Amino acid sequence: MKSIKLKDVMKCEGEGETDWEALDKLTDEELIARAKADPDCPPLTDENMKNFRLASEFSHEELKKIALENKEKRDKEENKDG
């Protein structure tokens, strides 16, 4: 497996409060465990990946429709919780 440093693919290196040195020291297993523990942004599942498409594969109209559907879902969830 090829190893890629996260900071090498980030366009905004140096911005923010990310401790790149500490991140570079983590193993893949540690990074995966941290990602799984993050309720705001869990790792994609195999099922997610089966349905994955690049944004460039969608028409502008399809993207607008998807964005509207996602906004409606979020609004519904916020109203349910709030």
Whether pTM exceeds 0.75: no
Alpha helices in the chain (DSSP H): 6-9, 20-25, 28-37, 46-50, 60-81
Taking a C-beta distance cutoff of 8 angstroms, is the pair 52, 44 a contact?
Answer: yes
* Each residue's pLDDT tens digit, 17-61: 788 899 999 999 999 899 889 988 888 889 988 988 888 898 999
With a cut of 90, say whether residue 69 has pLDDT above it. Answer: yes
Residue 15 is classified by DSSP as: S
